[in-house]
Amino acid sequence: MELGADDYLTKPFEESELIGAIESRLARISILNEAVVKQNQEDAPSGYGIRTIHELKNFIDDNGKEYQFKTGETVYNESGNSSLIFLISKGVVKTHKLDELGKELITGIHRPDDFFGFTCFTKNLLYQESATAMEDVTAVSIARDELKNILRENHQLTMELMQMLTENLSDTKEQLLEMAYGSVRKKTARTILKFAEKLPKDHQGRLHILRSDLASVAGMATETLIRTLSNFKKKA
Protein backbone atom coordinates (compact mmCIF):
# COMPACT_ATOMS: atom_id res chain seq x y z
CA MET A 1 0.00 0.00 0.00
CA GLU A 2 2.91 2.34 0.78
CA LEU A 3 4.18 1.78 -2.77
CA GLY A 4 0.93 3.17 -4.21
CA ALA A 5 -1.40 0.18 -4.52
CA ASP A 6 -5.13 0.92 -4.18
CA ASP A 7 -5.95 -2.45 -2.63
CA TYR A 8 -4.81 -6.06 -2.40
CA LEU A 9 -6.26 -9.57 -2.19
CA THR A 10 -4.82 -12.42 -0.20
CA LYS A 11 -4.51 -15.85 -1.69
CA PRO A 12 -6.47 -17.88 -2.25
CA PHE A 13 -9.30 -15.77 -3.77
CA GLU A 14 -12.19 -16.32 -6.10
CA GLU A 15 -12.45 -14.80 -9.58
CA SER A 16 -15.57 -12.92 -8.49
CA GLU A 17 -13.61 -11.32 -5.62
CA LEU A 18 -10.97 -10.05 -8.09
CA ILE A 19 -13.57 -8.67 -10.50
CA GLY A 20 -15.52 -7.08 -7.65
CA ALA A 21 -12.41 -5.38 -6.27
CA ILE A 22 -11.50 -3.99 -9.71
CA GLU A 23 -15.04 -2.69 -10.35
CA SER A 24 -15.11 -1.07 -6.93
CA ARG A 25 -11.83 0.78 -7.54
CA LEU A 26 -12.94 1.91 -11.02
CA ALA A 27 -16.21 3.23 -9.57
CA ARG A 28 -14.30 5.14 -6.89
CA ILE A 29 -12.05 6.77 -9.48
CA SER A 30 -15.09 7.72 -11.58
CA ILE A 31 -16.79 9.34 -8.58
CA LEU A 32 -13.66 11.28 -7.66
CA ASN A 33 -13.25 12.50 -11.26
CA GLU A 34 -16.87 13.66 -11.38
CA ALA A 35 -16.37 15.59 -8.14
CA VAL A 36 -13.28 17.32 -9.57
CA VAL A 37 -15.12 18.29 -12.78
CA LYS A 38 -18.07 19.64 -10.80
CA GLN A 39 -15.80 21.70 -8.56
CA ASN A 40 -13.97 23.14 -11.56
CA GLN A 41 -17.28 24.12 -13.13
CA GLU A 42 -18.40 25.84 -9.93
CA ASP A 43 -15.09 27.69 -9.64
CA ALA A 44 -15.06 28.78 -13.29
CA PRO A 45 -16.32 32.33 -13.93
CA SER A 46 -19.71 32.51 -15.61
CA GLY A 47 -20.40 34.14 -18.97
CA TYR A 48 -16.91 33.47 -20.37
CA GLY A 49 -15.60 35.48 -17.40
CA ILE A 50 -17.39 38.58 -18.77
CA ARG A 51 -19.14 40.66 -16.13
CA THR A 52 -19.36 44.22 -17.49
CA ILE A 53 -20.02 46.03 -20.77
CA HIS A 54 -16.36 47.05 -20.86
CA GLU A 55 -15.25 43.41 -20.58
CA LEU A 56 -17.77 42.44 -23.25
CA LYS A 57 -16.32 45.01 -25.65
CA ASN A 58 -12.81 43.70 -24.97
CA PHE A 59 -14.01 40.14 -25.63
CA ILE A 60 -15.55 41.17 -28.97
CA ASP A 61 -12.42 43.09 -29.96
CA ASP A 62 -10.28 40.02 -29.24
CA ASN A 63 -12.55 37.30 -30.62
CA GLY A 64 -14.95 38.92 -33.10
CA LYS A 65 -14.72 39.11 -36.87
CA GLU A 66 -13.43 42.41 -38.24
CA TYR A 67 -15.11 44.21 -41.15
CA GLN A 68 -14.03 47.23 -43.19
CA PHE A 69 -16.60 49.54 -44.83
CA LYS A 70 -15.91 52.49 -47.13
CA THR A 71 -17.82 55.76 -46.87
CA GLY A 72 -21.35 55.24 -48.13
CA GLU A 73 -21.07 51.44 -48.10
CA THR A 74 -23.96 49.42 -46.67
CA VAL A 75 -23.27 47.42 -43.50
CA TYR A 76 -26.63 45.64 -43.65
CA ASN A 77 -30.04 46.25 -45.18
CA GLU A 78 -33.44 46.41 -43.57
CA SER A 79 -35.12 42.98 -43.70
CA GLY A 80 -31.72 41.25 -43.88
CA ASN A 81 -30.82 38.32 -41.63
CA SER A 82 -30.00 39.77 -38.19
CA SER A 83 -27.43 37.19 -37.10
CA LEU A 84 -24.66 39.68 -36.17
CA ILE A 85 -24.26 42.53 -33.69
CA PHE A 86 -21.53 45.09 -34.38
CA LEU A 87 -19.11 47.13 -32.27
CA ILE A 88 -17.49 50.11 -33.98
CA SER A 89 -13.71 50.38 -33.69
CA LYS A 90 -13.29 53.36 -36.05
CA GLY A 91 -15.59 55.64 -38.01
CA VAL A 92 -19.28 56.56 -37.82
CA VAL A 93 -22.33 54.54 -38.89
CA LYS A 94 -25.89 55.74 -39.40
CA THR A 95 -28.92 53.50 -39.02
CA HIS A 96 -31.95 54.52 -41.08
CA LYS A 97 -35.35 53.53 -42.44
CA LEU A 98 -37.46 54.49 -45.44
CA ASP A 99 -41.07 55.55 -45.00
CA GLU A 100 -43.86 54.60 -47.39
CA LEU A 101 -42.97 57.59 -49.60
CA GLY A 102 -39.32 56.55 -49.86
CA LYS A 103 -38.10 59.31 -47.54
CA GLU A 104 -35.13 58.37 -45.37
CA LEU A 105 -35.31 58.76 -41.61
CA ILE A 106 -32.07 58.38 -39.65
CA THR A 107 -32.77 56.44 -36.46
CA GLY A 108 -29.29 56.63 -34.95
CA ILE A 109 -25.71 57.86 -35.33
CA HIS A 110 -23.12 55.46 -33.93
CA ARG A 111 -19.48 56.30 -33.29
CA PRO A 112 -16.44 54.32 -32.04
CA ASP A 113 -17.15 52.08 -29.04
CA ASP A 114 -20.90 51.99 -29.85
CA PHE A 115 -22.94 48.86 -30.51
CA PHE A 116 -25.49 48.61 -33.30
CA GLY A 117 -27.49 45.86 -34.99
CA PHE A 118 -29.60 44.71 -32.03
CA THR A 119 -32.94 43.10 -32.90
CA CYS A 120 -34.35 40.37 -30.65
CA PHE A 121 -32.75 37.58 -28.61
CA THR A 122 -35.87 35.43 -28.34
CA LYS A 123 -37.02 35.45 -31.97
CA ASN A 124 -35.26 35.28 -35.33
CA LEU A 125 -36.33 38.72 -36.47
CA LEU A 126 -34.92 40.48 -39.51
CA TYR A 127 -33.05 43.77 -39.21
CA GLN A 128 -35.61 46.53 -38.62
CA GLU A 129 -33.46 49.24 -40.22
CA SER A 130 -30.49 49.64 -42.55
CA ALA A 131 -26.95 50.65 -41.56
CA THR A 132 -24.54 52.67 -43.72
CA ALA A 133 -20.98 53.93 -43.14
CA MET A 134 -20.84 57.74 -42.95
CA GLU A 135 -17.05 57.57 -43.23
CA ASP A 136 -14.52 54.76 -43.49
CA VAL A 137 -15.49 52.31 -40.77
CA THR A 138 -13.86 49.41 -38.96
CA ALA A 139 -16.33 47.27 -37.00
CA VAL A 140 -16.11 43.96 -35.17
CA SER A 141 -19.04 41.56 -35.01
CA ILE A 142 -20.28 38.92 -32.58
CA ALA A 143 -22.92 36.33 -33.41
CA ARG A 144 -26.25 37.12 -31.81
CA ASP A 145 -26.54 33.55 -30.47
CA GLU A 146 -23.11 33.72 -28.83
CA LEU A 147 -23.98 37.01 -27.13
CA LYS A 148 -27.26 35.46 -25.96
CA ASN A 149 -25.33 32.61 -24.31
CA ILE A 150 -22.99 35.09 -22.58
CA LEU A 151 -25.93 37.12 -21.25
CA ARG A 152 -27.77 34.00 -20.08
CA GLU A 153 -24.87 33.16 -17.74
CA ASN A 154 -24.30 36.64 -16.32
CA HIS A 155 -27.17 38.67 -14.88
CA GLN A 156 -25.03 41.69 -14.03
CA LEU A 157 -23.93 42.07 -17.65
CA THR A 158 -27.53 41.60 -18.82
CA MET A 159 -28.70 44.44 -16.56
CA GLU A 160 -25.94 46.74 -17.82
CA LEU A 161 -26.86 46.02 -21.43
CA MET A 162 -30.56 46.61 -20.69
CA GLN A 163 -29.67 49.97 -19.14
CA MET A 164 -27.64 50.94 -22.20
CA LEU A 165 -30.45 49.98 -24.59
CA THR A 166 -33.00 51.83 -22.42
CA GLU A 167 -30.93 55.01 -22.63
CA ASN A 168 -30.68 54.62 -26.41
CA LEU A 169 -34.46 54.20 -26.59
CA SER A 170 -34.97 57.36 -24.53
CA ASP A 171 -32.75 59.32 -26.92
CA THR A 172 -34.76 58.03 -29.87
CA LYS A 173 -38.03 59.09 -28.22
CA GLU A 174 -36.67 62.59 -27.65
CA GLN A 175 -35.68 62.75 -31.31
CA LEU A 176 -39.17 61.71 -32.42
CA LEU A 177 -40.84 64.26 -30.13
CA GLU A 178 -38.56 66.98 -31.47
CA MET A 179 -39.40 65.99 -35.05
CA ALA A 180 -43.12 66.06 -34.30
CA TYR A 181 -43.43 69.24 -32.23
CA GLY A 182 -40.26 71.29 -32.50
CA SER A 183 -39.94 74.38 -34.65
CA VAL A 184 -37.87 74.16 -37.83
CA ARG A 185 -35.12 76.39 -36.44
CA LYS A 186 -35.02 74.52 -33.15
CA LYS A 187 -34.94 71.10 -34.84
CA THR A 188 -32.15 72.21 -37.16
CA ALA A 189 -30.03 73.61 -34.34
CA ARG A 190 -30.46 70.54 -32.14
CA THR A 191 -29.71 68.21 -35.02
CA ILE A 192 -26.44 70.00 -35.74
CA LEU A 193 -25.51 69.66 -32.06
CA LYS A 194 -26.30 65.94 -32.15
CA PHE A 195 -23.96 65.47 -35.10
CA ALA A 196 -21.31 67.56 -33.36
CA GLU A 197 -21.36 65.06 -30.48
CA LYS A 198 -20.89 62.11 -32.84
CA LEU A 199 -18.65 63.27 -35.67
CA PRO A 200 -14.96 64.23 -35.44
CA LYS A 201 -13.86 67.67 -36.63
CA ASP A 202 -11.22 68.25 -39.29
CA HIS A 203 -7.92 70.01 -38.58
CA GLN A 204 -9.66 73.37 -38.97
CA GLY A 205 -12.33 72.47 -36.43
CA ARG A 206 -15.10 72.04 -39.02
CA LEU A 207 -17.75 69.33 -39.26
CA HIS A 208 -18.54 67.64 -42.55
CA ILE A 209 -22.20 66.60 -42.64
CA LEU A 210 -24.35 65.80 -45.66
CA ARG A 211 -27.40 68.06 -45.77
CA SER A 212 -29.52 65.04 -46.61
CA ASP A 213 -28.38 63.37 -43.39
CA LEU A 214 -29.17 66.49 -41.38
CA ALA A 215 -32.61 66.63 -42.93
CA SER A 216 -33.25 62.94 -42.23
CA VAL A 217 -32.42 63.25 -38.54
CA ALA A 218 -34.38 66.50 -38.19
CA GLY A 219 -37.36 65.01 -40.01
CA MET A 220 -37.76 67.72 -42.63
CA ALA A 221 -37.32 68.21 -46.36
CA THR A 222 -33.77 68.92 -47.51
CA GLU A 223 -34.95 72.18 -49.14
CA THR A 224 -36.42 73.35 -45.81
CA LEU A 225 -33.17 72.55 -44.05
CA ILE A 226 -31.14 74.48 -46.63
CA ARG A 227 -33.32 77.56 -46.19
CA THR A 228 -32.98 77.35 -42.40
CA LEU A 229 -29.19 77.01 -42.62
CA SER A 230 -29.10 80.05 -44.91
CA ASN A 231 -31.03 82.05 -42.34
CA PHE A 232 -28.59 80.93 -39.64
CA LYS A 233 -25.69 82.05 -41.80
CA LYS A 234 -27.20 85.48 -42.42
CA LYS A 235 -27.72 86.09 -38.72
CA ALA A 236 -24.34 84.72 -37.66
Q: What is the pLDDT of residues 181-197, one digit of tens each?
A: 567 888 788 888 888 88
Same-domain status, 115 and 140:
yes
* Nearest one of 51, 157, 64 to 117, comparing CA atoms: 64
* Boundary (domain end) residue, out of 123, 146, 169: 146
Strand blocks (E) in 82-232 = 84-90, 93-98, 104-110, 115-116, 130-133, 137-143
Q: Cis omega before residue 12 (within 30°)?
A: yes
pLDDT of 176: 66
Measure CA of the first residue to CA of the last residue in the chain; give whole Å: 96
- CB contact at 8 A, 126 and 81: yes
Residue 119 forms part of a structural domain: yes
**Given 146, 173, 207, which residue is the final one in a domain?**
146
Say whether both 55 and 31 belong to one domain: no
- Over residues 98-103, mean pLDDT: 76
Are 58 and 14 within one domain?
Answer: no
Count how many domains the chain has.
Answer: 3
* Within-domain flag for 159: no
Torsion, Cα 161 163 168 171, to 10 degrees, reads -170
Residue 154 within a domain: no
pLDDT at 73: 96
Q: Are residues 36 and 67 in the same domain?
A: no
Establish if 6 belongs to a structural domain.
Answer: yes
Specify the CATH number for the domain of residue 111.
2.60.120.10
Distance in angstroms (rounded) separating the CA atoms of residues 81 and 99: 20
Q: Are residues 133 and 222 in the same domain?
A: no
156 domain residue, yes or no: no
Domain contains 120? yes
* 56 and 133 within one domain: yes
Q: Are residues 54 and 142 located together in one domain of the fold?
A: yes
| pLDDT-above-70 percentage for the chain | 92
| Same domain flag for 34 and 60 | no
- The single-letter code of the amino acid at 99 is D
Phi-psi map region of 48: left, alpha, beta (phi>0 left; psi -120 to 50 alpha): left
Quote the pLDDT of residue 181: 53
3-state secondary structure of 144: helix
Euclidean distance between CA atoms 102 and 190, whole angstroms: 24
Containing structural domain, residue 131: 49-146
Same domain, 59 and 129: yes
Residue-wise pLDDT tens digits, 35-91: 887 776 666 555 567 889 999 999 999 999 999 999 999 999 998 999 999 999 999
Q: Are residues 62 and 37 in the same domain?
A: no
> Quick check: 49 and 153 in contact, CB under 8 A?
no
Q: What is the pLDDT of residue 141?
A: 96
Question: What integer pLDDT is reported at residue 47 of this predicted model?
Answer: 52
Looking at the structure, tell me whether residues 97 and 58 fall in a common domain.
Answer: yes
Contact 154, 51 (CB under 8 A): yes
- Where b means 16+ CB within 10 Å and e means fewer, 114-145 reads bbbbbbeeeeeeebebbbbbbeebebbbbebe
Query: Among the three residues 146, 162, 195, which one is the final residue of a domain in this structure?
Result: 146
In a domain, 210, yes or no: yes
Is 151 inside any structural domain?
Answer: no
Closest CA to 134 of 164, 101, 108: 108
Q: Do 139 and 69 lie in a common domain?
A: yes
Residue 143: strand, helix, or coil: strand
Please state the pTM of the whole predicted model.
Answer: 0.61
